[in-house]
Structure 1
Amino acid sequence: MSESETTGGAPRRRRRRRSNRNNANKQGSQQQSGGNQGKNPQAKNNSAGKSGNKPGNRPGGNANNGGKSGNRNNRGGKSRRSGSANSSGGNRSENNRNNRRTSSNQYRRSPARPSSHYNDAHSELPVSVETSAGGLVISGLAEAVGNDNNVDLSKIYVALIGRLDRRGRLLWSMPKGHVEPDESQHATAEREVWEETGVAGEVIADLGTIDYWFVSEGVRIHKTVHHHLLRYVDGALNDEDPEVTEVSWLPVNQLVERLAYADERRLARQAFERLPDYAREEAKAGRYTPR
């Protein structure tokens, strides 16, 4: 096969380059050594290095390519050495990262503490469970229904109580109190409304339940409050209850913005949606309860 035919495949090109490099090295060693063939392989290697640096060599020629190939081999060797050297260190680093991920995932998987009653500061306090009942006394339901059967919510009033907090702020809320032994939730709601507002009411519907925790006199208390809607029966507002600072009738369309606590505001929105139907029922039954 001729030399021109050997350039068709990549493997043959690599063989030719290696052959040319060897020939160039041999020619360089012959020129440097004056044709002496008895020198040791080290001298040949040195002469080959010198011949690779001769100005007569073509840029990018075989000698330089051989040097570059050697550099690549050296880099490859360094890469292998660094890879083997870092294999244990890399594993340790990866293990450390995995450990950190595991520990962080454990924290993330931990259940969140619900609220302040589980704080470490109060974790050793005794726990008490309390149940209360109360709600909204509603006046003017039937009167709010027009001739077209539409309901004007601004004519419906509810009774709220106001208490001063430790900062001296007047906080408005729904009347409520403890459920006594052998007392139903409805009976408690009617009694507490009368004691705290001075007006008598009759339960017409359940509104909803809320619960919360607080600390009082070294005891953690879990309190559940059942709220109801009550129809006004009779009586006049008074603030004779020592725990109540002020009592007031309030238009129901201002109820949400007046209540101090978010959970009661949520119940107030539910009541606001249901009141038109209750008002029509009261008007149909002829139960007029003026404020």
Structure 2
Amino acid sequence: MADEMERQLPRGTAVSRRHGAPPWGVDAGEPPSLHVVVQGSFHLAQDGTRFLELEPGDVVLLGAGPRGAAPREHSLRCVAPPPGAASAPGELLSATYAAAPDGALAALAPVVHLPAGEVRRAQGLSAVVSLLRAALAEPSAEQERLARSLLEPLLAYTLHCHGGAGDRRAGRAARAPVASIDRRVGRALQLIQEKPAARWTIEALARAAGLSRAAFARRFLAELGVPPLRYVAELRMQRAAELLAEGDRSLASIAAEVGYDSEFAFSRAFKRHTGEAPGAFRRRSRSEGAPLRVPPIRAAA
């Protein structure tokens, strides 16, 4: 890894392996934490609301984001399989890191989710996960020291994998043609694209798709590569960037068009997404001239 990234990476503080028959859960504390689902089905809840399903091989990084971001309470719960399915014990590897609000995690969304397929394709990340699992399989002081030595590489490879996959996901989410994806997800996607400023919820989109909340969230993520509300946020920010670069409309007018109640709320969200205030982005886009360069999405609203 580059020296600059290594200097910005927070220090690993603890590592653990939890396993057992469901149901059971883990509360993610205030420091950033990274979790690897080895076996079993889990769901992630934020402030008590279940919003993301996790399967074996998934990696999730919690508690990232810029200085001053509102703290969120996250919990992971190992859930029993549906009736008739074979039951298996859940296994979760967890690592915590020292808080570093100005380091490598500051530009990320509070929740970074890497599906199992992306993890498998990232050879470096897969190798570190395998080494960590092997070290934690034998409880001893020596193995614990070995596991702790893997925490910084684990985080570095996770960020590297997220960065490469994030560009592909953002581009796909912003331009996804409705006709090319799952029919039910397409219904919801069309509504979002037609009315990006509407106050969408997962429940409302799931009803439009004719699916349960959990099934819709899982299918949308599989098709688009991002959770539904992350897609809404990305679409709004892409539209806002285009409006900023193309005309002289006020920030309040642009905020209303992309679904924000105030200029202040819009400005804060835009900077959190892109790392740049709306006015600064408008000035830069004009000074650089055409073609328009929309900045990469860096965090969820």
Q: TM-score range by the shorter chain?
A: under 0.3
**In terms of Rg, which structure is larger?**
1
TM-score (norm 1): 0.20
TM-score (norm 2): 0.20
